[in-house]
Chains A and B, each alone.
Chain A
Amino acid sequence: MKKKVLLLGASGLIAPNLLEGLQPYYDLHLVDVKAHPDGREVDQCDVSDYGQVLAAAEGMHAIMNFTVIRDDAERSFHVNTRGALNVMKAAVAYGIKKVIHSGPQFVRRTYDHDFDVADVPPVLGTGYYCLTKGLASEICRAYARAYDMQIISFVFNGLGPRPEAQVADADFPPFTVVWEDLQLACRLALEIEEVPDGFQEFNMLSWEGHGKYNVDKARRLLGFEPTENWGRYFARKP
């Protein structure tokens, strides 16, 4: 029997691109506040409303939260911070131990001139997007400790389709993950028994050639490895 997984934010910028890599393995329950871009059936669920999240989570084995509001002074707090709290409470209510959380990377504004940036403390800053998602991570940590949950948080900068052909006069953008790699990471996160302290945040990127950001932690704890050597599409021909 496939595991039942609640996918919050199913119509957003990320989740529709994950279905191809998740549907063969999981019974996905798609929910969002807006219609799916590809016309898929989506149940209504506003993550900032606890009652709606609770109803959507019933019968699930895991929850994936890809909801986000970026720059709204009020809704960012309600969706990103309170929404994460609602997800945690609903998971506790049904004994759901596995939650995939998501957010922005918290490192580029501080460490972008450094190299070998791996598992460094997140710098939230005061912008609505990063701060509210950072507060959400703190909520997840507290719930993981209190209820013995396993929460994997993926943090992103760039996301997009895989390169299809040789690219000239361009470089693979730093801290960018292609959909195939993120699909793999999600499958690994849904299957892993446990992570240290019940909560771990993972940089998601597909190419480490710059020597700046890397996926060492995901490699070490999740067994993640980018599905291809994407750098070869950007190789300069001498």
Chain B
Amino acid sequence: MKILITGAASALGREIAAALDETNQVRRLDDCGPIDKRGEWVEASLVDIQAMVEAVRDIDVVIHTGQPPPALPADALLCEEMLLDLATRGTHVLCQAAVEAGVKRLVYGSTLEVFGDYPDTVFVTEDYKPLPTTEPRVLAQYLAEVVCREFARDYAFTATALRLGKLVREEDLAGGKPDLMWLDIRDAASAFAQAIKRDNSDSLNWVARWAVYHICAPVPNAKFLIGRAEGMGYAPKRDLQEGAR
């Protein structure tokens, strides 16, 4: 498969590129120069329509990580506006370019933090209504998820949202207070590698073209249930319990 990864300079973007099978051809995109000399790199902003038209050419699957570019404005207002613009307009530009180029699949990296307000007495499945906070990054990621959903509704296009837990590395957790949202970044990347296989683009019913999966560590007595993601092929290797001790 030919795969485009947005937000490729982010830690998540790098892990996803590393997790993809070597038989795939990967084109990486971010709003900065190349981070290494491997493979094809596109330096462009998501809101650049012409650049996105070029970026999705000959692509089979888009992995839209939802990760911001490395250089965000230091000014809080400008930063918030950029996050909002990239998540809403940028996601729209990317999806529009993708559907017009005949791309059939997109996987988006959303966040479990859209459920931040649910108490810990709830087992949160994909059937729960997101209640995003007004924190700019969380709200922006939720809005991008909505944009992806609407493209799955309107086009013969499979869109899959992976609501990711808080990205960590197991080896960095020693002594840390366990968090029900923790997710090792390598397990997150493996979820993308599975989700790109999902293709219901031929379904006439848009409900089949859109899917959401909760992705976090397989902790005992979990708050965020991952059974549906496991059915999609998600097989996390790190429960993060040892690292937290």
Which residues from chain A sit less than 8 Å from chain B, CB to CB?
A: 50, 73-74, 77-78, 81-82, 85, 88, 123-126, 131-132, 134-135, 138-139, 142-143, 145-147
B81 contacts across to A, CB distance below 8 A: 50, 82
B125 at the interface (CB under 8 A from A): no
Q: Assuming A142-B133, A142-B134, is B89 touching A77 (CB within 8 A)?
A: yes
Contact B131–A145 (Cβ < 8 Å):
yes
Task: Name the contact of B139 in the complex, choosing from A124, A134, A142 (C-beta under 8 A).
Answer: A142
A125 contacts across to B, CB distance below 8 A: 150, 153-154
Contact A126–B146 (Cβ < 8 Å):
no
A81 vs B142: C-alpha distance in the bound complex, in angstroms? Answer: 13
Report the minimal beta-carbon distance from A75 to chain B, rounded to whole angstroms.
Answer: 10
Contact A77–B151 (Cβ < 8 Å):
no
B96 at the interface (CB under 8 A from A): yes
Given contacts A125-B154, A134-B146, 7 further A-B contacts (CB under 8 A): A73-B49, A82-B85, A88-B134, A124-B146, A142-B139, A142-B142, A147-B134
Using a CB-CB cutoff of 8 Å, which residues 56-108 of chain B contact chain A? 77, 81, 84-85, 88-89, 92-93, 95-96
Nearest CB to that of B81 among chain A residues?
A82
Task: Name the contact of A139 in the complex, choosing from B85, B89, B139 (C-beta under 8 A).
Answer: B139
Q: Assuming A85-B84, A145-B117, A146-B133, is B154 touching A138 (CB within 8 A)?
A: no
A123 contacts across to B, CB distance below 8 A: 153
Contact B134–A146 (Cβ < 8 Å):
yes
B132 at the interface (CB under 8 A from A): yes
Q: Assuming A50-B77, A142-B134, A142-B139, is B96 touching A126 (CB within 8 A)?
A: yes
A78 vs B47: C-alpha distance in the bound complex, in angstroms? Answer: 12
B131 contacts across to A, CB distance below 8 A: 142, 145
Contact A124–B150 (Cβ < 8 Å):
yes
A147 contacts across to B, CB distance below 8 A: 134
Report the minimal beta-carbon distance from A68 to chain B, rounded to whole angstroms.
Answer: 16
Task: Name the contact of B92 in the complex, choosing from A126, A138, A143 (C-beta under 8 A).
Answer: A126
B134 contacts across to A, CB distance below 8 A: 88, 142-143, 146-147
B84 contacts across to A, CB distance below 8 A: 81-82, 85
A125 vs B95: C-alpha distance in the bound complex, in angstroms? Answer: 13
Query: What are the interface flags for B117-153 relative to A under an 8 Å C-beta threshold, 1 for contact and 0 otherwise?
Result: 1000000000000011110000100110011001101
Task: Name the contact of B95 in the complex, choosing from A50, A78, A124, A126 (C-beta under 8 A).
Answer: A126
Contact A135–B95 (Cβ < 8 Å):
no
Q: Assuming A131-B150, A135-B146, A138-B146, is B133 touching A74 (CB within 8 A)?
A: no
Task: Name the contact of B154 in the complex, choosing from A50, A78, A126 (C-beta under 8 A).
Answer: A126
Contact A138–B143 (Cβ < 8 Å):
yes
Report the minimal beta-carbon distance from B63 to chain A, rounded to whole angstroms.
Answer: 20
What are 15 A-B interface contacts by the 8 Å CB criterion? A50-B77, A77-B88, A81-B88, A81-B143, A85-B84, A124-B146, A124-B150, A126-B150, A126-B155, A131-B150, A135-B146, A135-B147, A138-B143, A142-B139, A146-B133
A235 vs B240: C-alpha distance in the bound complex, in angstroms? Answer: 71
A142 vs B142: C-alpha distance in the bound complex, in angstroms? Answer: 11
A143 contacts across to B, CB distance below 8 A: 134
Q: Nearest 10 CB-CB pairs, A to B?
A: A77-B89, A126-B154, A146-B134, A126-B150, A135-B143, A124-B150, A142-B134, A142-B132, A81-B88, A77-B88
A146 contacts across to B, CB distance below 8 A: 133-134
Nearest CB to that of A74 among chain B residues?
B89
